[in-house]
């Protein structure tokens, strides 16, 4: 296990393993920085820290999660596991039980406190990412902490935060998100909602707060379970909220339900814009907390593949897998929501078939599950000889095991407002399908496959070193 308590430890762990590159050249935070990052991401480059952001002495971390190796390190593992393997770990740890946070008195984030006229979010190098974005965003990786006034439940949600004024940022939580439910309760009481925008802390806090965990469950407890140790929080004397003690920067204040703002757009994770700028919640900042020498953290959002698609791949796969296990559906070998599908719209499940109709049961279960029903367009079910993330194998199954007239099921379900394949103003319901790409269990005569000899494979693996191909790990070759 790699010990990681906060963002700077995570960045150092990446750097030690050659997974992070520091850019020393001066770079403009508006457009230039994000363009370097997107071009690096497209080329499957490393995580980046821009040490010399023009006009600031605060560096920016970006592209932190954009490879399975970096995602493994975030989870405290050495590079190696595939995304489905990491999702299985997510599923197992969150299913085993949650771990609530512990309160500490000394918090690195509380070392510097800006109040009164010193409250100015422009102190930090928030970038503008794309030319058509509405401005600079303090929050792409930042999460909002708020508390349910009735139950005391503390929710963490990642919602984008645009800088509007020195002491005001938009916080675009969409209808139905947890913060939206909670804000409505404050509104009914005629109160403002105390809230904090947090950047940094354990990198898993960003991951968990960008994931639908379930109403009433705190993302702090989920991160405790994932990290297998409690998150350290500091009880704010201003808002009464538990704030991650190792955070980089916190904007504290309140959201007035009767004082919405005009905000956006921001290039979204679908790779498109949604033009819906009015009546977004806004955080009025009363106090800024930050560590000594904070590290700013941004994410390019926009077209796949970047951090958001990787983290959605991890957590959505983990959530769907969790649901399939709790539904007691047997034979699930692996699950994968490809980052290229925005980490959202398609699910691939590999199963060991046990009875006729098993593959369709799995497809229907994904479409009906809490973790997978929302905006899924298709489920592809393949046999156990193909891992869910073996996209070459999946194409082979689509070509040789799938018959559209026999094994395609069409259905409809809940859409997302961000889906550009649906017309504006009518994005409630999407079509969806189950593609059963398994060899039918009930066929007595199955197609005969070309196979390698299992004993010879074992022998070849045993003397792999003799063949002098050190870059290939014989135990991680798909499809044998
Ligand atoms: C970079 C990034 C930006 C996001 N922006 C928003 C956003 O502006 N509004 C929103 O409602 N969800 C946004 N999300 C998705 C939410 O984080 C996600 O739905 C999460 O479940 C919200 O937390 P909650 O379930 O506690 O409400 C974003 C996710 C990421 C990773
Ligand atoms: Mn939540």
pLDDT digit string, tens, across residues 431-440: 999 999 999 9
Cβ-based burial of 339 (10 A; exposed 0-12, middle 13-18, buried ≥19): buried
3-state DSSP assignment of residue 102: strand
pLDDT band at 91 (very low <50, low <70, confident <90, very high): confident
- The angle that helices 83-96 and 307-326 make with each other, rounded to 10 degrees, is 50
Mean pLDDT in residue range 287-308: 98
- Residues 6+ positions from 225 with CB-CB distance below 8 Å: 93, 94, 96, 97, 98, 99
Residue 364 near residue 351 (C-beta atoms within 8 A): no
Q: Which of 64, 139, 179, 210 to mutate to test the pocket of ligand 1 (most atoms within 8 A of CB)?
A: 210
Atom 13 (ligand 1) nearest CA: 159
179 CB under 6 A from ligand 1?
Answer: yes
Residues measured by CB to lie within 5 Å of ligand 2, the ion = 155, 178, 213
Of 290, 312, 286, 317, whose CA–CA distance to 301 is shortest?
Answer: 312
For 111-164, write each residue's pLDDT tens digit: 999 999 999 999 999 999 999 999 999 999 999 999 999 999 999 999 999 999
Residue 48 near residue 21 (C-beta atoms within 8 A): yes
3-state DSSP assignment of residue 33: helix
3-state DSSP assignment of residue 253: strand
CA 162 to centroid of chain Cα atoms: 20
- Residues 6+ positions from 42 with CB-CB distance below 8 Å: none
In angstroms, what CA-CA distances link 241 with 48, 99, 244, 346?
Answer: 32, 18, 10, 37
DSSP β-bridge partners for residue 250: 198, 289
Q: Which of 63, 157, 273, 307 to mutate to test the pocket of ligand 1 (most atoms within 8 A of CB)?
A: 157
Q: Which of 156, 170, 177 to mutate to test the pocket of ligand 1 (most atoms within 8 A of CB)?
A: 177
Q: Is the pLDDT of residue 332 over 90?
A: yes
- The atom of ligand 1 lying closest to the CA of 311 is 31
Give the distance (Å) from ligand 2 centre to CA of residue 219: 6
At residue 219, the pLDDT reads 98
155 CB under 6 A from ligand 1?
Answer: yes
**Residue ranges of domains in the chain, CATH in brackets:** 82-297 (2.30.110.10), 327-436 (3.40.1670.10)
- Cα separation, 123 vs 136, whole angstroms: 13
Question: What is the pLDDT of the chain when averaged over all its residues?
Answer: 97
- The atom of ligand 1 lying closest to the CA of 160 is 8
Of 450, 443, 455, whose CA–CA distance to 406 is shortest?
Answer: 443
Residue 243 near residue 234 (C-beta atoms within 8 A): yes
- Cα separation, 120 vs 118, whole angstroms: 6
212 CB under 6 A from ligand 1?
Answer: yes
Is the N-terminal amide bond of 171 cis, ω within 30° of 0? Answer: no
Give the distance (Å) from ligand 2 centre to CA of residue 451: 47
pLDDT band at 207 (very low <50, low <70, confident <90, very high): very high
């Amino acid at each position: 296990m790699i010990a990681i308590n906060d963002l700077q430890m995570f960045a150092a762990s990446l750097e030690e393993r050659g997974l992070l590159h520091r850019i020393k050249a001066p770079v403009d935070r508006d457009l230039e920085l994000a363009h370097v990052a997107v071009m690096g991401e497209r080329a499957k480059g490393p995580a980046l820290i821009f040490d010399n952001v023009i006009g600031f002495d605060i560096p920016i971390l970006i592209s932190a999660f954009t490879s399975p190796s970096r995602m493994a390190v975030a989870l405290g593992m050495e590079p190696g596991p595939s995304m489905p393997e990491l999702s299985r770990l997510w599923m197992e740890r969150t299913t085993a039980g949650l771990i609530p946070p512990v309160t500490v008195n000394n918090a690195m984030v509380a070392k510097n406190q800006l109040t009164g006229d010193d409250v100015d979010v422009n102190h930090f190098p928030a970038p503008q990412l794309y030319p058509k974005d509405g401005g600079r965003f303090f929050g792409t990786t930042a999460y909002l902490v708020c508390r349910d006034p009735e139950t005391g439940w503390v929710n963490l949600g990642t919602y984008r935060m645009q800088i509007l004024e020195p002491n005001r940022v938009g916080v675009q939580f969409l209808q139905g998100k947890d913060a939206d439910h909670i804000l409505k309760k404050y509104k009914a009481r005629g109160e403002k909602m105390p809230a904090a925008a947090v950047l940094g802390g354990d990198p898993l806090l960003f991951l968990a707060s960008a994931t639908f965990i379930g109403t009433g469950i705190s993302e702090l407890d989920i991160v405790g379970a994932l990290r297998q140790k409690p998150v350290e929080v500091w009880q704010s004397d201003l808002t009464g909220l538990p704030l991650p003690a190792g955070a980089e920067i916190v904007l504290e204040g309140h959201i007035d339900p009767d004082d919405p703002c005009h905000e956006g757009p921001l290039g979204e994770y679908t790779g498109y814009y949604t033009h819906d700028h009015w009546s977004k919640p806004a955080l009025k900042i009363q106090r800024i907390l930050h560590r000594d020498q904070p590290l700013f953290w941004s994410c390019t959002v926009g077209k796949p593949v970047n951090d958001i698609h990787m983290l959605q791949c991890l957590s959505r796969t983990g959530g769907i897998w969790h649901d399939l296990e709790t539904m007691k559906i047997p034979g699930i070998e692996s699950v994968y929501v490809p980052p290229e599908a925005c980490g959202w719209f398609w699910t691939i499940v590999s199963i060991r078939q046990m009875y006729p109709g098993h593959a369709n049961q799995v497809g229907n279960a994904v479409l009906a599950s809490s973790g997978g029903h929302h905006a899924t367009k298709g489920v592809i079910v393949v046999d156990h000889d193909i891992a869910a993330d073996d996209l070459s194998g999946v194409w082979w199954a689509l070509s040789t095991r799938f018959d559209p007239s026999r094994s395609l099921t069409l259905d409809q379900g809940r859409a997302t407002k961000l889906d550009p394949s649906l017309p504006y103003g009518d994005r409630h319901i999407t079509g969806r399908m189950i593609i059963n790409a398994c060899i039918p269990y009930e066929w007595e005569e199955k197609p005969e496959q070309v196979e390698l000899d299992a004993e010879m494979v074992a022998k070849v693996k045993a003397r792999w070193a003799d063949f002098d191909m050190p870059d290939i790990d014989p135990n991680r070759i798909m499809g044998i």
